[in-house]
Amino acid sequence: MTFDCAEPVRVGRFWCEVLGYVPPPPPEGFASWDDVNSEQGSWFACSDPSGVGPRLYFQRVPEGKVVKNRVHLDVRVGTGLVGEERLAALEAECARLIPLGAVRGQLLLADGENESCLNMEDVEGNEFCLD
């Protein structure tokens, strides 16, 4: 999964914190990814240490975000929870992410068809949901 962004390292490190992901070790013979990446800070990659989730790749692009994301991540924090328990889980995760640079969006309450979720934005304004 690839993200276009202005600051790949900043956005990538944010998502590492959100998802518990880690950057891979640099290739053999290199002390750091900066040694590999000739255009320092132009990209960043991370992956799920358990090997289950997808690898995330962040690349610098010259244009900024103009409109709503065409794709966004749903961060699963309330799976199996309903009502007040679900809301408490969403609010707790929101409180953890705001100091990392996330911005709280609209809380969408359960409507009989869908459970509650909370819209948020990452450090560059990309939308995601706490679900």
Q: What residues pair up with 74 in beta bridges, in sequence order? A: 129
Q: In Å, how far are 5, 31, 51, 66 from 63, measured between CA atoms?
A: 8, 31, 32, 8
Asked if residue 37 and residue 10 are part of one domain, the reply reads: yes
What is the average pLDDT value for the chain, to the nearest integer? Answer: 91
- Cα Rg of the chain, angstroms: 16
Asked if residue 78 and residue 54 are part of one domain, the reply reads: no
Encode pLDDT of 66-84 as tens digits. Answer: 777 767 889 999 999 999 9
Asked if residue 125 and residue 81 are part of one domain, the reply reads: yes
Judge whether 65 lies within some domain. Answer: no
Give the H or E element holding residue 86: helix 83-97
Range of the domain at 18: 2-60
Q: In Å, how far are 96, 103, 117, 129 from 23, measured between CA atoms?
A: 21, 24, 28, 23
The residue written with tokens 């390292």 in the block is 9
Encode pLDDT of 91-102 as tens digits. Answer: 999 999 999 999
| Number of domains making up the chain | 2
